[in-house]
Structure 1
Amino acid sequence: MAAFIDRIDEIATLENEYARDAASFVVIYGRRRVGKTTLINHFCKNKDAIYFLATEENESENRNAFKNLVAETFDNTLLANATFDSWAPIFNIIADESKKGRIVLVMDEFQNLGKANKAFPSVMQKVWDEILSKSNIMLILCGSLINMMTSQVLNYDSPLYGRRTAQIKLKQINFSYYHEFDESLSFDKQLLQYAVTGGVPKYIELFDKKKDIYRSIKENILSTGSFLYAEPEFLLQKEVSEIGSYFSILKTIAAGNHKLSKIASALGVSQSNLTNYLKTLIDLDIVEREVPITEENPEKSKMGLYQIKDNFISFWFKFVYPNRGMLESGHSEYVEDKIKKNFIDNHVSYVYEDICRNDVWDLLSEGIAFNRVGRWWGSKNVEIDIVAYDSTGNDIVFGECKYSKNKKGMDVLTSLQEKTKVVNWNKDNRNEHYVLYSKSGFSDELIEYAKRHNNIYLRQL
């Protein structure tokens, strides 16, 4: 397994901050297990760094642990034996030491300090303004509770607002880097694993590459004592109150209800009661509101659909949460069989579409101009997997994604061309291109036809 994968932009941001002539203040946040600490440790290699992990203990315990860490780092016996009822003297010592050379100071799980003392962001503001901002220090505040990090550090009403010099909201690793976890995996095996683990490094590490996907799911998710069996509960329980309400919404979306009206109807509540819950799930990077890609005013669109954007969360709410009674009572075979029957058509095929939409950017090298890519759907139940267009020009790409065992023929192309007639964007003045994705390739007839038409692209993934 590769030791460190992707994170190119994030490392570049951190190195730029480290190279500043003045103090810098970076905020790193993102969901649990996404690799924040790994990123920080990789960046801190060969640098003078102090890494402090805040715990859920009270403030004085954290302060004492911080003091001892700093004393040990600088071999400062006087500090080790001292007792403080404030943080400033400890930070003053770090600032003095930074005169000898730049120091990276990391405070991980920073939100725990704010939980222990609600006034701690104000304490940190004073420390930054009076001590650290005038020193040769790169301060990194890191946290995995997105709501708390936002309220304590990033929001306008936080005492620390406006102090940061950079921020990184760490997201999952893109599928295009997935092969680096195991170069021996075929594309299809990568896809099957990605459909379950998403781009969360910790989840990816759990899946044994030698075993088939269903055995890995059984061992790592369906077993009631396994690491991922209750993972969504751990993800949400510290972010939200009323975890049951959020679980009900996610289960409803996973069951295929994507319109606000359908979600509300399935739950027996009014639409207005759902908006705050959905906003929270969007802020947590678990759900996204999607509109047809050609919509001019997405916020005002009445065509919005709510999707679970996290592969693992989507898988869990489709197959694990509705069947927990069976799993808890020892009937895992029933759930395993259900997954085998529905995994490909009801889950993997949608993940495949996402990967194809990401891949379509490669068509820019073919000379097609576009700057927006997404899905499209209309009021007549017409759906198109891929629409990419140039918002200031005339080029538009229509695409279809087929994850099946059979080669795809002319009927797929003609069906797609028929559907494009209901897309009104620049209808009388556009250059149409077509891209077909197929797991299993294409018929000879379609391949020959594409060779004769330079606006048709066939891609086998």
Structure 2
Amino acid sequence: MEELIGRKEEREQLREVLLSREASFVAVYGRRRVGKTFLIREFFKHQFFIEYAGIHDATYRVQLEGFILMMTELTKDKLPSGIPSSWMEAFQLLRHVVTPRLAKEKVVIFFDEFPWLHTPRSGFGPAFEHFWNSWGSRQPNLIVIICGSAASWMIRRVVNNKGGLHNRLTKTIQLFPFTLRETEQYLKSRKIALTRYHVLQLYMVMGGIPHYLKQVKAGQSAVQNIDRLCFTRNAILSMEFGRLYQSLFDGAEKHVSIIRALARKHIGLTRNEIIVACKLRSGGGTTYLLDELEQSGFITAYTPFGKTSKDNIYKISDEYSLFYLRFIEPNQDGGPGTWGTIATGASWRSWSGIAFESICQKHISAIKTALGIPAVYTRVSAWRWHSKAGQSGTQIDLLIDRKDDCINICEMKFSETEFVIQKSYSTELDTKLRVFKERTATRKQLFLTMITTYGVKENEYKVAQVSNDLTMDALFEG
């Protein structure tokens, strides 16, 4: 039996629901494969549990057939024969089945992939609203949970609903991928003992997605696992990319075009740059696409230091998508051993640095803890200055602007050994800090913070410049 790892805050919210003396209506959303269904099933495994999952691209008639089959199995054929003629009738049937149970125990009704049930002209939405508003909300022992991977749909149509479900939710839970710490715990729970360097390499490829991590085999190195999962015949991660976006978004081609554009520009793109790169129209349609990708966890918007949200820079935050476009797609016919070859080349060194930066940006809480400022209010951002004729530009991928009148300028470097600051890089760092001070006119104290895999080697440049030296352990322990 698989163990429920992490999810401390989410479990506490579900525990409050279970102990409540009132009816509860809970919405759970998050990226596909992130473990939403497992969390709900595992937490409520001791309650009377009814589950029905929407079927992707199925007609409402097929959905109804599936629903009645589930109900028939649940009640051991004690149902009227035939398929309900409408969702309104189906929910009436659900009430009939559940009412006797509610008199003596908690009942959990779980609608998985809720957006898929809302087929055109099916009447599911109004029927569900009527079910909850006219009856469900008045049943003290009833817990209704709806779940969906189409995060933006869930937010727009349920969390921010302006109609019959307005302000009806008891709890809203957004489920995120595992952190590095949770990933390490998950692998250990499956008897997979890997060093943090190997765990970090796996995370750079598949992120903290439990379904992907479940495929990791004990007794194999990170390189061996990546090779097997990405480059062998019918490898699970070689076929996942197309399914991933098509199952979440209508007209997914536009979403994928944005992901491809961002994958080509690791420093990120502004909204206008995305419009140009993807040949989109400037307007609400582009905003909607970006919002869908961001809410579903594929991209993240960063507000540059000293700027407003209209100057946001968008970057890919989904490790798998970035890895797929950089390595899997161009090497579909590589076969076994492909990754072992690539992982010793220059392209891997370049990509690993970018991937490590992205992971650091996701673990700000851990970094703050390692810096001893977990309770200090901060704003995290990036900064870049475009060069003019005859001048060079510069950029800072991560800075932590602190309320205590300090700024941590973070430099993130992935290496197989201790990172060495050479004279040329030392000069580059001096220039970066000087230009940042000049262009932003900040009077705050600047702390150069190095975040590396194995730390920075002691030499004159480190002593003179580095205020904080964090290793990858900080990312695992926060």
TM-score (norm 2): 0.82
1:120-143 deviation digits (Å, cap 9, x = unpaired)? 111011111121111120111112
* CA spacing shift, 1:265–1:163, aligned 2, 3 Å: closer
Comparing 402-411 and 203-212, the one that deviates more: 402-411
Q: How does 1:288-299 map to 2 (within 5 A)?
A: 288-292=300-304, 294-297=305-308, 299=309
1:195-239 deviation digits (Å, cap 9, x = unpaired)? 111011011111224333343333222335222222121111133
Task: Check whether the contact 2:456–2:462 (CA below 8 A) recurs between aligned residues.
Answer: no
Measured in 1, the distance between the counterparts of 2:42 and 2:131 equals 27
Indicate whether 1:373 and 2:410 are aligned. no
Select the residue among 311, 315, 319 that pairs with 2:323.
315
Counterpart in the other structure of 2:410: 399
* CA spacing shift, 1:150–1:442, aligned 2, 3 Å: closer
Q: How does 1:349-360 map to 2 (within 5 A)?
A: 349-357=353-361, 358=363, 359-360=366-367
Write the letter of the residue equivalent to 1:306.
Answer: Y
Select the residue among 396, 399, 419 that pairs with 2:432.
419
Write the letter of the residue equivalent to 2:446.
Answer: E
* CA spacing shift, 1:384–1:83, aligned 2, 3 Å: closer
Measured in 2, the distance between the counterparts of 1:385 and 1:83 equals 57
Counterpart in the other structure of 2:216: 207
Task: Check whether the contact 1:288–1:308 (CA below 8 A) recurs between aligned residues.
Answer: yes
1:405-437 deviation digits (Å, cap 9, x = unpaired)? 353247456643442223359846423323222
Provide the secondary structure at the position in 2 that maps to 1:256.
Answer: coil
Measured in 2, the distance between the counterparts of 1:252 and 1:448 equals 36
Comparing 153-162 and 430-439, the one that deviates more: 153-162
Task: Check whether the contact 1:374–1:388 (CA below 8 A) recurs between aligned residues.
Answer: yes
Indicate whether 1:118 and 2:127 are aligned. no
1:63-122 deviation digits (Å, cap 9, x = unpaired)? 3124324424xxxx6447687541213224313421212222212222232227532111
Provide the secondary structure at the position in 2 that maps to 1:316.
Answer: helix
Write the letter of the residue equivalent to 1:420.
Answer: L
Higher relative contact order (CA 8 A, sep 6+): 2
Indicate whether 1:35 and 2:35 are aligned. yes
Counterpart in the other structure of 1:433: 447
Task: Check whether the contact 1:434–1:457 (CA below 8 A) recurs between aligned residues.
Answer: yes
Counterpart in the other structure of 2:169: 164
Comparing 402-411 and 174-183, the one that deviates more: 402-411
Comparing 126-135 and 396-405, the one that deviates more: 396-405
Q: CA deviation at 1:319?
A: 1.9
Write the letter of the residue equivalent to 1:178.
Answer: T
Task: Check whether the contact 2:418–2:457 (CA below 8 A) recurs between aligned residues.
Answer: no
Write the letter of the residue equivalent to 1:119.
Answer: G
Instruction: Give the gaps of 5 or more residues in structure 2.
Output: 388-392, 473-478
Counterpart in the other structure of 1:235: 244
Measured in 1, the distance between the counterparts of 2:226 and 2:446 equals 42
Write the letter of the residue equivalent to 2:290.
Answer: L
Write the letter of the residue equivalent to 2:453.
Answer: K
Indicate whether 1:58 and 2:62 are aligned. yes
Comparing 156-165 and 271-280, the one that deviates more: 271-280
Measured in 1, the distance between the counterparts of 2:129 and 2:244 equals 29
* CA spacing shift, 1:311–1:44, aligned 2, 3 Å: same
Q: How does 1:43-442 map to 2 (within 5 A)?
A: 43-55=43-55, 56=58, 58-72=62-76, 78-79=78-79, 84-85=84-85, 86=89, 87-115=91-119, 118-135=122-139, 136-150=141-155, 152-183=157-188, 184-256=193-265, 258-260=268-270, 262-267=273-278, 275-292=287-304, 294-297=305-308, 299-301=309-311, 304-321=312-329, 323=330, 327=332, 330-332=333-335, 336=339, 337-338=341-342, 340-342=344-346, 344-357=348-361, 358=363, 359-365=366-372, 369-380=376-387, 381-390=393-402, 392-404=403-415, 405-409=417-421, 411=423, 415-424=428-437, 427=441, 429-442=443-456
Task: Check whether the contact 1:375–1:384 (CA below 8 A) recurs between aligned residues.
Answer: yes
Write the letter of the residue equivalent to 1:438.
Answer: T
Task: Check whether the contact 1:92–1:131 (CA below 8 A) recurs between aligned residues.
Answer: no
Measured in 1, the distance between the counterparts of 2:203 and 2:226 equals 12
Measured in 1, the distance between the counterparts of 2:372 and 2:81 equals 64
Provide the secondary structure at the position in 2 that maps to 1:60.
Answer: helix
Q: CA deviation at 1:159?
A: 3.3
Counterpart in the other structure of 2:22: 22
Task: Check whether the contact 1:121–1:153 (CA below 8 A) recurs between aligned residues.
Answer: no
* CA spacing shift, 1:80–1:53, aligned 2, 3 Å: farther
Q: CA deviation at 1:21?
A: 1.5
Q: CA deviation at 1:266?
A: 4.6
Q: CA deviation at 1:40?
A: 0.5
1:29-73 deviation digits (Å, cap 9, x = unpaired)? 22321101110012113233223334446243133124324424x
Measured in 1, the distance between the counterparts of 2:224 and 2:114 equals 38
Measured in 2, the distance between the counterparts of 1:268 and 1:94 equals 52
Measured in 2, the distance between the counterparts of 1:156 and 1:122 equals 13
Provide the secondary structure at the position in 2 that maps to 1:408.
Answer: coil
Provide the secondary structure at the position in 2 that maps to 1:115.
Answer: coil
Comparing 115-124 and 162-171, the one that deviates more: 115-124
Q: Aligned-pair RMSD on alpha carbons? A: 3.2
Task: Check whether the contact 2:448–2:467 (CA below 8 A) recurs between aligned residues.
Answer: yes
Q: CA deviation at 1:248?
A: 3.1
Provide the secondary structure at the position in 2 that maps to 1:58.
Answer: helix
TM-score (norm 1): 0.84
Q: CA deviation at 1:244?
A: 3.4
